[in-house]
Amino acid sequence: MKYLQQMVAALAAVALLAPDVWARKTVIPVETEHTQLVLVAQESGVLQTLHFGAKISDPTAFEAFRTGRGTDNGEGPMAYPTVGGRYLGQPALHVKYADGYHNTELTYERHMVQRKGDIVTTEILLKDKVTLLEVTLVFDAYQKEDVICTHTEILNGGRKPAELLEYASGSLNLDADKYYLTHFHGGWADEMQMDGELLTHDTKVIESRRGTQVTQCNNPSFLVSLGTDRLQENSGEVVAGALAWSGNFRLSFEMDEAGRLNVLAGVNPFASTYKLSAGQTFTTPDFIYTFSCRGAGQASRNLHAWARNYGVYGGGQVNPTLLNSWEGAYFSFTTETLLRMIDDATSMGLEMFVLDDGWFAKDYPRNGDAAGLGDWELNTAKIPEGIDYVAAYAHAKGLKFGIWIEPEMVNPESNLAHNHPEWVVQSPGRELYQSRNQWVLDMSNPAVQDFVFGVFDNTMKLSKNIDYIKWDCNRTVANFGSTYLGTEQDRFYVDYAQGIYNVMRRLREKYPDVIVQCCSSGGGRVDYGALKYFNEIWTSDNTDALTRVFIQYATNLIYPACVMASHVSAVPNHQTGNMTPLKFRFDVACSGRLGMELQPKNLTAAERALADRCIRSYKQYRDLVFTGDVYRLASPYEGDYYALMYVSQDQSRAVVFTYCIKYQNRAVGTHVFRMDGLDPARRYKVTELNVDRSSWWGSGQSHAGDFLMNGGFNPVLLKTFDSGVFYLEAE
Ligand code: DGJ
């Protein structure tokens, strides 16, 4: 009898163990139309990445696959590496448990796949059997766009609180002979400067610790070219990625001893240990990435298509051309100034007038940047008739109307600063440093979130004719801290960024149709976290067309042209002294969302005529800028020209922009550009726009697509700042 009982107990033990002992490999393909991420839950339960790249018809072929190098167990890299076990590289996840231990070893529990339209979602549940931490890796695979968005849900399944010390959104394992990293750095008026290097062993980190992303220094995005030592536009394998997060971020690129590259993207853990109480879940932001075997060009087109369809608020829509009051009037205006600018905008054919900074605050009037921020009531000394009067005037003229706010900030010289000193980001006993004469409001505090919501909401109530809000943000955080968070200061940076999103979510529910521009001293807060709520970005305060060539080229590697606000201003202006011709300035601005930012009455008659013509012709092709596929034909980072084109999805129309940025000696002759993305078998009528006399012998004629793509297009661009815009229509 006793023997029988022992037998039953032994059998029961085997049954309980069965899922582990008899487990087989589980291959989990995450696929789009042309790309594939192959994850494998090994017999041990460890989830690993075996492939990310071009699609293989039968991913189960990976069941028998062994990399045979680099790790003790001879298996591939961990799909979501944690501190613990035998892993010693950069972790995606680092948890400190209540007992003080730091080890987490995740094993596969189960996964689920669901399809909704174009998106196939795969959720993989991993668990640490000792601490009961549960990690769900979520992959949304956008079929047509060839883009994968991943985020991670981290659940504290234990009974005691745990601390998340590092908590990346996702990890991407790449395997190639070499890796060329392209990333973006910059500063005020110099955003999105392309930088790059061939990665060597160990870790390269791109990050932000600025709190608010202003006067951008790094952008949360990258491209990795595989097996080559430079970024190629039309050939080679390229992985491009971006983190959808407007707070501190960290991207790390670690080449291990076996030569494999592990890319991690996530919230920057800097001063941001996140406490998870028992039963609580932390959800990371999205890490968006794509694979291309046609170089950076296809990678950009994939990201742009995804952005237009899913990633940018109002992504498919064409936004209006506009005149912004900033560089034309700065803080010095009256109602009369604004009405005359509206008249001029109307007569030039623009479609919106945007009243920038300077319209508000009574007790501490906003006549410069030293006072008034925080006091969002109209300055009746400047506009006694009211905002509604100006907005209605614009509408009566057929223009839309927009207005500027900077709701996250406060000048010490304001009623708000006096009434709510506790709302300012601060740390007890430490100096409240000013930058642009202002302090940052503590967006981690729900009362501040309500206030910021109210600034937008109340501004919208100033007139039913407000169609557009320019949301600015002009300084980074110093001496970070929150009176609201008490002893939980570690939450500051994460709660701050989530605070902005809380407000934007509420605003979008109430104001789904208002166009909102994300400005952060120019292109500071340019990321796919912000773009979920904002229609466009103020690409840079630098409106100098030559500098813009570099900024726009690099911005466009990751972000689509539909978000790129691009304005024509006077020369010289407060950013640079480059005396670029008006035509060059227009031709550059027309490759994004066109606007003007100057005093139109200062234009000569000839300049006005050119402006009118450029604005008129822009309307003929701008749908291509907003919705077409981009093909970059020449890089200003590599030579003396910048050229790009946008092609309609059906390849029946296109617009080509060409710019010369360095004098060509006469011996060089004309440069031949190879158009791209056209139908080789169709004929296209090519018309040069924005000119009296064409710079290309073939303008006004029709040409075969293959002729244009294989070497026939050679407009005369000899002098610095020569430029040309060409419109193509299939016959
Ligand atoms: C910074 C922005 O980038 C400018 O366009 C302008 O709106 C100013 N702020 C206004 O203060």
Q: Report the distance separating Cα 606 and Cα 420, nearest Å.
A: 52
Bridge partners, residue 47, by sequence: 41
Asked if residue 404 has its Cβ within 6 Å of ligand 1, the reply is yes
What type of residue sits at position 328?
Answer: G
Q: Report the distance separating Cα 716 and Cα 722, nearest Å.
A: 8
3-state secondary structure of 82: strand
405: number of CA atoms within 13 Å, CB side?
24
Asked if residue 356 has its Cβ within 6 Å of ligand 1, the reply is yes
**472 assigned to active site:** yes
Q: Which atom of ligand 1 is nearest to the CA of 356?
A: 7
Q: Is the predicted pLDDT of residue 669 greater than 80, yes or no?
A: no
Of all protein residues, the one whose alpha carbon is nearest to atom 9 of ligand 1 is: 521
pLDDT classification of 69: cutoffs 50, 70, 90:
low
357 Cα–ligand 1 center, Å: 7
Q: What sign results for the dihedral spanned by CA atoms 162, 209, 471, 568? A: negative
Bridge partners, residue 251, by sequence: 206, 265
25-50 pLDDT, tens digit each: 899 999 999 999 999 999 899 999 98
Q: Is the predicted pLDDT of residue 15 greater than 90, yes or no?
A: no
What is the edge-to-edge ordering of all strands in the sheet holding 26-31? 26-31, 35-41, 47-54
Query: For tokens 């039963």, what's the residue?
Result: 279
Query: For tokens 């139309």, what's the residue?
Result: 33
Q: Phi first, then psi: what are they for 289, rounded to 5°?
A: -150, 160
Q: Which of 474, 540, 574 to mutate to test the pocket of ligand 1 (most atoms within 8 A of CB)?
A: 474
558 Cα–ligand 1 center, Å: 24
What is the edge-to-edge ordering of all strands in the sheet holding 702-704? 629-634, 641-647, 653-660, 723-730, 683-689, 702-704
Q: Which of 367, 471, 538, 596 to mutate to test the pocket of ligand 1 (most atoms within 8 A of CB)?
A: 538
382-438 pLDDT, tens digit each: 999 999 999 999 999 999 999 999 999 999 999 999 999 999 999 999 999 999 999
Q: Report the distance separating Cα 331 and Cα 370, nearest Å.
A: 11
Contact by Cβ (8 Å): 537, 561: no
Entry field: residues in the chain: 731
Of all protein residues, the one whose alpha carbon is nearest to atom 10 of ligand 1 is: 357
257-275 pLDDT, tens digit each: 989 999 999 999 999 999 9
Of all protein residues, the one whose alpha carbon is nearest to atom 2 of ligand 1 is: 521
559-605 pLDDT, tens digit each: 999 999 999 999 988 887 889 999 999 999 999 999 999 999 999 99
Q: Report the distance separating Cα 413 and Cα 371, nearest Å.
A: 5
Q: Is the predicted pLDDT of residue 544 greater than 60, yes or no?
A: yes
Contact by Cβ (8 Å): 360, 379: yes
How much is the mean pLDDT over the chain?
Answer: 94
**195 assigned to active site:** no
Q: Model's pTM, two decimal places?
A: 0.95
458 Cα–ligand 1 center, Å: 21
309-363 pLDDT, tens digit each: 999 999 989 999 999 999 999 999 999 999 999 999 999 999 999 999 999 999 9
711 Cα–ligand 1 center, Å: 43
Catalytic residue among 472, 527, 629, 722: 472
Of all protein residues, the one whose alpha carbon is nearest to atom 1 of ligand 1 is: 521
Asked if residue 661 has its Cβ within 6 Å of ligand 1, the reply is no
Q: Is the predicted pLDDT of residue 251 greater than 90, yes or no?
A: yes
Ranges of H-type helices in 439-595 = 446-460, 492-510, 545-558, 582-589
293 Cα–ligand 1 center, Å: 40
pLDDT at 66: 63
3-state secondary structure of 545: helix
